Amino acid sequence: MAPDRIHSVVAKYFAATRAMDLEAWVACFAENATSYEPAAPAPLQGHAALRQFFLGIVGAFQKVGMTEDHVFVSSNRAAVKFTGRGIGKNGREVVFEGIDVFEINDRGKIQTLWGYWNPADMMAQLQG
């Protein structure tokens, strides 16, 4: 797969987080995608589980989003170092960093996502 296509999928994913756009975010994933998130007790399988996860995260914020700081592409995968910023519904600001590893399928959708970040640190910042 062409690196520019991988970059495009990654850019859409992160833009959807910044817009807090549930449907645009879910549309980045294949119907049968799997996401391994440290904030989820089990792998997220498919669009319904992804929707529930996204709503759970953004539900704690007035505004939240992630920016891709560095994108490294190899074959049909990308490793992305990101920075997240948000303002909780309680007015507290949070900053968190992590790495997402994406596997993109032949249709240009995220097939598998592995997230590496610290949700406990983010929640501690939200709670002050």
The whole-number pLDDT of residue 42 equals 96
User: Mind listing the pLDDT tens digit for each residue in 70-121?
Assistant: 999 999 999 999 999 999 999 999 999 999 999 999 999 999 999 999 999 9
Q: What percent of the chain has pLDDT over 70?
A: 100
Rounded to whole angstroms, the Cα distance separating 20 from 16 reads 6
Number of folded domains that form the chain: 1
Q: Over 90: is that where the pLDDT of 128 sits? A: no
Rounded to whole angstroms, the Cα distance separating 29 from 112 reads 8
Q: Which of 86, 114, 109 is nearest to 99 (CA)?
A: 114
The pTM (predicted TM-score) of the whole model is 0.95
Mean pLDDT over 2-23 rounds to: 97
Q: Which of 82, 54, 77, 52 is nearest to 67 (CA)?
A: 82
Q: What share of the chain is helix, strand, coil (3-state, %, to 5)?
A: 35, 45, 20
Mean pLDDT over 44-57 rounds to: 97
Range of the domain at 23: 3-127
Rounded to whole angstroms, the Cα distance separating 100 from 32 reads 18
pLDDT range class, residue 1, cuts 50, 70, 90? confident
CATH code of the domain covering residue 23: 3.10.450.50
